[in-house]
Structure 1
Amino acid sequence: MMSRAVARLLVLAGLAAGGAYVLLPLVPDSLLPARAQTQAGQHDHSASAKPILYYRDPSGAAAWSAVPTRDAAGRDYIPVHDADEPPLAGVTPKPPAANATRKLLYYRNPMGLPDVSATPKKDPMGMDYVPVYEGDEPNDGKSVKINLSKIQRSGVRTEPAAARVLVRPVRGVGTVKYDERRLTTVTIRSEAYVEKLFVNTTGALVHAGDPLFRIYSKEIQLAQVDLNVATSAQSRGVGGLSLQTVDGAMQKLRNLGVPERHIEEVRTKGISTRTIDWISPANGVVIEKKIVNGQRLMPGDELYRIADLSRMWVIAEVSELDLPAIKEGMHAAVTLRAYPNDPLEGIVTFIYPDLRAETRTARVRIELDNRGGRLRNDMYAEVMFHAGADEAPKVSVPESAIIDSGSRQIVLVAREEGRFEPRDVKLGAHGQGYVEVLNGVVEGEAVVTAATFLIDSESNLNAALKSFTAPEAAP
């Protein structure tokens, strides 16, 4: 009697002080006044009519909380209700139903076990069974539905499939080489003796027409005499010599490699010099020198090798796996180790038909302009090929959207109202964090790019429930 009287006094005192709601948890419902019970029932009904999914940062920052809290400035987090939840990217939300009240179907095990109940209950660990409302029940297996609050808390993100140009970088290492088409060898075609060298060092820069060395050759000497005799006889009109005879004598000198300007000088002036200056046939740098002063030369001896350095090659080594992505005519960025901050742009002009057995790499030739003279033979270079830059746009999705089980690849297509449909896809080229989808997804469909394994696990859970629980067993 005393305790019941004390409780009643406390209730009356709390009501008088305006603190009835604070003291309600401490007093049994049978001791509450009828007005207080009515107000509490009305408050609970209004709160349940608009459930709170989570609380967001009042400043708009990417911060959320499952329970009421405050930021560093002491401001309360703003509650976000079901109707305020923003839709996923690329998904058009359905208009709200006319009747917002949903029918409670049954309660399922919170751990995902195949156990349902028609009434609220707890599992052996003391966890409440999860209510399943109409529209949230396990479906026909073609899609999976997840509560919007769980989607938000789990960080599910989506992105529409779109047509993109997929540029995939392919790396290789290379070496700078001379352009083989710009190499010239200097030889003579008769026996001769070197009387003077004009270019006597390797690395010397020469121009076409510059004298390289001076020689005496008996055969060239006799050919000059024949041309003088033919020219003189033709001019006097004796011996029956014709123009063809003069041309034949000139051709003999050409066959011996005598420069054309020297032949013309012999024909017009009627001279026959004992020695002749051999001139450079091309512009470039002397990269090999095999001649010394006083040397006896034999026909076919290689005396100089001259390289035109205005264009150079880079021979790049590319992995056998990356070879299908390399095409002739594609651009490549070449970074020399001597100039790491100044890459050069080149063009792939040839892919060699063989592989190196030791490294399983293919050789790719890239041509570079070298009018600045920075490229030197045997320099090391790093090569970056822009594979796919010249191809048409392809329907692609982010690589993070792919669930790869090894035998199959799946993406999760976002539908309306938190539904996600798994799709088998066939993949193509990769590039810049995206992958081409050959079939399974069309342009514009939204795919899940983050928290895919959460949805995948939920799908597996629904499949387990469906296999253990018949649809008609649900209350």
Structure 2
Amino acid sequence: MSRFPWNTSALLVLTLAIGGAGGYWLARKAQAQASVAAAATERKPLYWYDPMVPQQHFDAPGKSPFMDMQLVPKYADSDGDTAAIRIEPGIQQNLGMRLATVSLGKLDRTLQVTGLLTFNDRDVALLQARAGGFVERTYALAPGDVVKAGAPVADILVPEWAGLQEEYLALRSTSEPALLAAARQRLLLAGMPATLVEQLARSGRARPVITLTSPIAGVIRELDVRTGMTLAAGAPLARINGLGQVWLEAAVPETQAAGLKVGQAVDARLPAFPDRPVTGTLASILPENDQQSRTLRLRIELPNADGQLRPGMTAQVSLDLAGQSAVLQIPSEAVIRTGKRNLVMLAEDQGRFRPVEVRLGQENGGLVAVLQGLQEGQRVVASGQFLIDSEASLKGIEARTVDESAATMTKPAVHEADGRIVEITAQGMTISHGPFNTLGMPGMTMTFALARPELAEGLKPGDRIRFGVSQGDAGLVIEQVRKQEQQP
């Protein structure tokens, strides 16, 4: 009777021991399976980089040669696109991000620059002594005075002219017209003005002292005559500038000079006369460029019939520049100007943003023309793009150059996926691939045609690849293939 309870207890202990061992074995097996699954799903870095120098890539981990820090691994994004940044819609809203559409239209410009009034150097008269003599009298004039045409400047005694006049008058009483004509010609050749010769012939009296007058109306720029001076033939006495028309000189940045045309109308407003705009004409674009300011000089002619426009005054110049008939345009605020190139953040589907280099044209009214790098209908970030650019730099994402953008525009869209080569034949490549997220196509095994036969070079069945296909009338065609490292 006593052995039965002992046998029952032993049996119970043995059963518990066997159950505990089985549970331990099952737990260890589950843990091993989890470790295998974790190892299988562990991503391998594409490369390592220094966050302070993200454009430099390294094939293995280690210490940065630039900074005292370890290199950071770079993994492929969840959608496989390593050249773009993905931002969730909620984060976009928190950042206050705004998008703008690339549109096609005409971009006219109105260029506003400041100019300075100067004298018209084509309207200049010089007063000179045509023969040697003496200054008998000067009139109350000084540089800067405004004079009328015919205003007296100085009385000059010319002994040579006095003798020739007496000779001419003496020959008038003779009956030799040839001698009289010769005497008249000698007066003209001696430098005596024809008007004075006519006065001598009419009055019949010699005039040893001649009054020199201003040949035009204007302002005296230079006056080099004083009473009692001895003059030599050809000595300059005065320089007079006309005021009937003045020049307005302005400088335009060479990057904005496209569209200027000689002869076009120009509007100018002067602070001295704010209620009276003046319309002039673009007379010339001077051929020499200012190397210091990188500007082109313009010469504008302004009418000055009442003489109120005086050289030295400033004016605000408005130049209408005709734009190109049809250009792509985006807001100027969307451009990131680095000094060496111009970038925009291109918005794509599924919250992806990609830095793209653009080539810009003329700019006006908050819009700038895009000559290369974008297409009509694309969207760019107009607000918040600097934060995205900073993130792209930290992740080592390089902006697509203008040439690459132009090449991309001529090619169909490429959709990427991961896969494993099953077979390579003359008809194409059979691939067991994962889903094409951008096509909404699930993973499967199928045969793709090759866009170029050389895409299959160096590949064999079993290789894991990252490949891109384009969709056309002939179906899905492989456009690019990149071999990936084999998973252990």
Instruction: Look up the match of 1:50.
Output: none
Instruction: Look up the match of 1:276.
Output: 210
* 1:217 and 2:150 matched: no
Task: Map 1:157-196; keep pairs closer than 5 Å.
Answer: 157-165=99-107, 167=109, 169=111, 171=113, 175-196=116-137
User: How big is the shift at 1:186?
Assistant: 1.2
Tell me the SS of whatever aligns to 1:221: helix
- How far does the alpha carbon of each residue in 1:198-241 deviate from its partner, in whole angstroms, 9 at most, with x for none? 454444433333443333322112232343355544xx3x4xx5
Higher strand share: 2
> Identity over aligned residues, as a percent?
26
Tell me if the contact between 2:97 and 2:381 (Cα under 8 Å) persists in the aligned partners. Answer: no
Q: Which of 292, 301, 322 in structure 2 is aligned with 1:390?
A: 322
* 1:289 and 2:246 matched: no
Q: Do the aligned partners of residues 184 and 429 (structure 1) sit closer, same or farther apart at CA in structure 2, a change above 3 Å counting? A: same
Tell me the SS of whatever aligns to 1:252: helix
- How far does the alpha carbon of each residue in 1:323-354 deviate from its partner, in whole angstroms, 9 at most, with x for none? 96695636766666666787755536342637
User: How big is the shift at 1:434?
Assistant: 2.4
Instruction: Look up the match of 2:79.
Output: 138
- How far does the alpha carbon of each residue in 1:213-271 deviate from its partner, in whole angstroms, 9 at most, with x for none? 333322112232343355544xx3x4xx53xx544433333344433332123334544
- How far does the alpha carbon of each residue in 1:46-83 deviate from its partner, in whole angstroms, 9 at most, with x for none? xxxxxxxxxxxxxxxxxxxxxxxxxxxxxxxxxxxxxx
Tell me if the contact between 1:349 and 1:367 (Cα under 8 Å) persists in the aligned partners. Answer: no
User: RMSD over aligned Cα, in angstroms?
Assistant: 4.9
* Structure of higher RCO (CA pairs closer than 8 Å, 6+ residues apart): 1
User: How big is the shift at 1:176?
Assistant: 3.9
Instruction: Look up the match of 1:86.
Output: none
Instruction: Look up the match of 1:312.
Output: 246
* 1:349 and 2:290 matched: no
Tell me if the contact between 1:355 and 1:361 (Cα under 8 Å) persists in the aligned partners. Answer: yes
- How far does the alpha carbon of each residue in 1:12-35 deviate from its partner, in whole angstroms, 9 at most, with x for none? xxxxxxxxxxxxxxxxxxxxxxxx
Letter of the aligned partner of 2:361 in structure 1? G
Tell me if the contact between 1:162 and 1:397 (Cα under 8 Å) persists in the aligned partners. Answer: no
Instruction: Look up the match of 1:367.
Output: 301
User: How big is the shift at 1:182?
Assistant: 1.9
Tell me if the contact between 1:176 and 1:380 (Cα under 8 Å) persists in the aligned partners. Answer: yes
User: How big is the shift at 1:149?
Assistant: 6.2
User: How big is the shift at 1:462?
Assistant: 11
Q: Do the aligned partners of residues 177 and 256 (structure 1) sit closer, same or farther apart at CA in structure 2, a change above 3 Å counting? A: farther
User: How big is the shift at 1:451?
Assistant: 3.8
Instruction: Look up the match of 1:76.
Output: none
Task: Map 1:313-462; keep pairs closer than 5 Å.
Answer: 313-316=247-250, 329=262, 347=282, 349-351=284-286, 353=288, 355=290, 364-377=298-311, 379=312, 381=314, 386=319, 389-393=321-325, 394-403=327-336, 409-412=342-345, 423-452=356-385
Tell me if the contact between 2:108 and 2:322 (Cα under 8 Å) persists in the aligned partners. Answer: no
- The aligned length equals 329
User: How big is the shift at 1:138?
Assistant: 2.5
Instruction: Look up the match of 2:147.
Output: 206
**Distance in 2 of aligned mates of 1:170 and 1:152:** 37
Q: Do the aligned partners of residues 389 and 266 (structure 1) sit closer, same or farther apart at CA in structure 2, a change above 3 Å counting? A: same
Instruction: Look up the match of 2:476.
Output: none
User: How big is the shift at 1:188?
Assistant: 1.6
User: How big is the shift at 1:181?
Assistant: 1.9
**Distance in 2 of aligned mates of 1:158 and 1:397:** 7
Instruction: Look up the match of 2:74.
Output: none
* 1:258 and 2:192 matched: yes
Tell me the SS of whatever aligns to 1:254: helix
**Distance in 1 of aligned mates of 2:343 and 2:181:** 82
User: How big is the shift at 1:318?
Assistant: 6.5
**Distance in 1 of aligned mates of 2:143 and 2:277:** 29
User: How big is the shift at 1:371?
Assistant: 3.3
**Distance in 2 of aligned mates of 1:417 and 1:467:** 14
TM-score by length of 1: 0.53
**Ranges in structure 1 where 5+ consecutive residues have no aligned partner:** 1-112, 116-136
User: How big is the shift at 1:415?
Assistant: 6.4
**Distance in 2 of aligned mates of 1:409 and 1:248:** 79
Tell me if the contact between 2:345 and 2:385 (Cα under 8 Å) persists in the aligned partners. Answer: yes
**Distance in 2 of aligned mates of 1:400 and 1:362:** 26
**Ranges in structure 2 where 5+ consecutive residues have no aligned partner:** 1-41, 45-77, 398-414, 420-432, 436-441, 444-488
**Distance in 1 of aligned mates of 2:131 and 2:145:** 26
Letter of the aligned partner of 2:146 in structure 1? L
Instruction: Look up the match of 1:302.
Output: 236
User: How big is the shift at 1:306?
Assistant: 1.7
Instruction: Look up the match of 2:68.
Output: none
Tell me if the contact between 1:155 and 1:451 (Cα under 8 Å) persists in the aligned partners. Answer: yes
